[in-house]
Every structure is written in structure tokens, then in C-alpha cells.
């Protein structure tokens, strides 16, 4: 009986020790996560100042041991693709979206279904595109009340479109190519390489040269020495593209736009927290923005 009692008490002690250890680890992680979030918020506060530009030393902060601090990146949403803009043009620009999907590895049937599905989702017309889907197709799929017939509210909404699944499978980070925060054409002065090559048809070397040229002498985009052509035709001339590439750029792009995207990552002893804030700049395309905060996400 004594031995059984000792064994029972030992088991209970080990169990309690394990539970308490788990509590301590959880509380420690929560504390680190809180500190990491506070650091990320500090980075957001700094980057929200319009006078702070990409490359500013204030966008990096860390303790001497490198175990607590923040790192901030300032980007521009105006260089991304707004599906609503492309689909609302007359005639619409589904052909350019199909080119992008094909560059991601989709075959012609999948590209047609994805592009037509996107068009039918936002179109108020009751008529279905050749490869698209309207109310009967969504009802058959168990999605009653779809499609809404209004513009996309966010890139995530594209995942609900019938025919878009192959795009999500082929390009897991597809959402990083799209935005609904900027209402105009793609700003060719802020377009990332993936859009330059996939949507606009530039070669990788052409895209690299253009990105280097537009960034100016400091090689940092968003600073005073950036290339600032007055007209899109001037930018196209500097890019040295062929006829087909030129036509694609002229129908899809512009040289204006200012929607600041702030990505602030705070860290504390190996635990990280990222906060992303979208701030609209007043422009012809986004007259309602005027420096307002348009979006806030955390991960």
C-alpha cells in the first residue's frame, strides 16, 4: 500500500508539474506576443507619418541583443491589379487577366473559365458569359444568392467565384497581385516584377531593368529621386518594349497613384507579429481616400 501510494503521489506530482509548465510556457508566449504586437504598432506609428519614406532608418529598430524591435516595409497598392477596373472597361479587359492566368500555368479552358467567372460575378446582367457562371450554376453548386452582380469588395472574394479554383491552386499567393483599395489602372511606376512579366508580357530581364531605372540612383522606390514621367507614353518609351508589350501597357497602366501599404513586423525573443495598414492618398482615382486608413490586418 505504501509503494502504491508513493507511485500515485509521484504520478500526480509529475502531472501537476507538466500542467504548470504548460501554463508558464503559454503565459510566456502570450507576453512575448503582446510585446511583439506593441513593437509592430510602434512601427506603424512611425510609418504613418507622410514624411517618412522607404529606406528611412526610422523604419528599423531593435535592441542591442537583437531580440526585440520592429522592421517596416512601405509599399504602394497602386501597382497592383484591381479586377473591378479591368472588368468594368468597355470593352472589358478579360484578355489580359487570361494572359496572367496562363503565365501561372493554367490551360486555355481554365483561363477562360476563371476570367469569365470573374466577369459574371460583378456584372449586373443576368446573361452568362460563354465560360462563366450565373445564378443557375451557383444554385446548383449550393451557393444560393450568388453572384451579387456588384464589384469585388476584396481579393479574397474572388475565391467564391466558380471557375477560380485552378488559379488558387496554381498561385497560392495570388492575393498579393490584386487590390481593391486603388480604383485606377496599374501604376507602372510601382508595379512588381510578377505583374510586369505575367500580365504585361515583359521578359524578366526587361522587368529588372525597368524596376532599377524607375527607382532612381538610391535604388529605393518611393523616394525623391524616383523616375517621374509626366505621361505613360514617356514611360513606355524608356522601357524599350516591343509593339505587343506597348499595346498591353497602354491599355492597362498609368503613371499616377498613391495608396501606401505599411507592413510592420514586431518581434520579441523569436515571437513575431505583423500588422498591415493601407492608407489612401488623395488622387483622381481615389478621391474618397484623402489619407484615410482603408484597411488593417494582423497575423
Q: How far apart are CA 93 and CA 240, in angstroms?
A: 23
Q: In angstroms, what is the C-alpha Rg of the chain?
A: 25
Cell 511583439 appears where? 36
107 cis-preceded (ω within 30 degrees of 0):
no
Confirm if 166 and 106 have CB atoms less than 8 A apart.
Answer: yes
Residues facing 296 on adjacent strands: 277
pTM, full prediction: 0.85
The SS3 call for residue 187 is: strand
Cell 498561385 appears where? 171
Q: How far apart are CA 82 and CA 48, in angstroms?
A: 24
Mean pLDDT, the chain, integer: 89
What are the pLDDT digits (tens) for 100-112?
Answer: 999 999 999 999 9
At the fourth CATH level, which superfamily is domain 83-176?
Answer: EpsJ-like (1.10.40.60)
What single-letter DSSP state applies at residue 128? P
- Lowest model confidence (mean pLDDT) among 7-11, 70-74, 172-176, 253-257: 7-11
pLDDT category, 289, cuts 50, 70, 90? very low
Pairing of strands 253-254, 60-62: unpaired
* pLDDT (average), residues 245-273: 92
Looking at the chain, the domain(s) classified CATH 1.10.40.60 span 83-176
Amino acid at each position: 500500500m505504501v509503494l502504491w501510494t508513493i507511485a500515485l503521489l509521484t504520478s500526480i506530482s509529475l502531472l501537476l508539474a507538466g500542467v504548470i509548465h504548460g501554463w508558464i510556457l503559454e503565459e510566456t508566449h502570450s507576453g512575448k506576443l503582446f510585446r511583439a504586437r506593441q513593437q509592430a504598432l510602434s512601427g506603424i506609428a512611425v510609418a504613418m507619418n507622410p514624411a517618412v519614406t522607404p529606406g528611412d532608418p526610422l523604419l528599423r529598430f531593435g535592441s542591442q541583443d537583437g531580440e526585440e524591435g520592429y522592421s517596416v516595409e512601405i509599399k504602394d497598392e497602386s501597382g497592383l491589379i484591381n479586377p473591378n477596373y479591368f472588368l468594368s472597361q468597355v470593352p472589358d479587359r478579360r484578355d489580359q487577366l487570361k494572359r496572367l492566368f496562363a503565365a501561372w500555368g493554367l490551360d486555355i479552358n481554365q483561363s477562360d473559365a476563371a476570367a469569365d467567372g470573374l466577369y459574371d460575378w460583378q456584372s449586373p446582367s443576368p446573361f452568362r458569359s460563354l465560360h462563366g457562371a450565373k445564378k443557375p450554376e451557383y444554385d446548383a453548386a449550393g451557393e444560393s444568392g450568388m453572384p451579387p452582380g456588384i464589384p469585388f469588395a476584396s481579393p479574397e472574394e474572388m475565391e467564391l467565384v466558380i471557375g477560380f479554383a485552378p488559379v488558387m491552386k496554381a498561385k497560392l499567393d495570388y492575393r498579393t497581385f490584386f487590390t481593391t483599395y486603388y480604383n485606377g489602372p496599374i501604376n507602372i511606376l510601382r508595379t512588381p516584377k510578377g505583374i510586369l512579366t505575367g500580365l504585361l508580357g515583359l521578359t524578366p530581364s526587361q522587368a529588372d531593368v525597368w524596376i532599377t531605372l524607375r527607382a532612381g540612383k538610391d535604388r529605393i522606390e518611393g523616394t525623391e529621386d524616383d523616375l517621374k514621367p509626366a505621361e505613360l507614353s514617356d514611360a513606355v518609351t524608356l522601357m524599350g518594349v516591343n509593339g505587343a508589350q506597348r499595346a498591353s501597357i497602354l491599355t492597362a497602366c498609368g503613371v499616377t497613384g498613391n495608396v501606401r501599404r505599411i507592413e510592420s513586423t514586431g518581434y520579441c525573443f523569436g515571437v513575431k507579429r505583423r500588422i498591415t495598414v493601407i492608407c489612401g492618398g488623395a488622387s483622381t482615382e481615389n478621391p474618397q481616400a484623402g489619407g484615410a486608413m482603408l484597411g488593417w490586418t494582423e497575423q
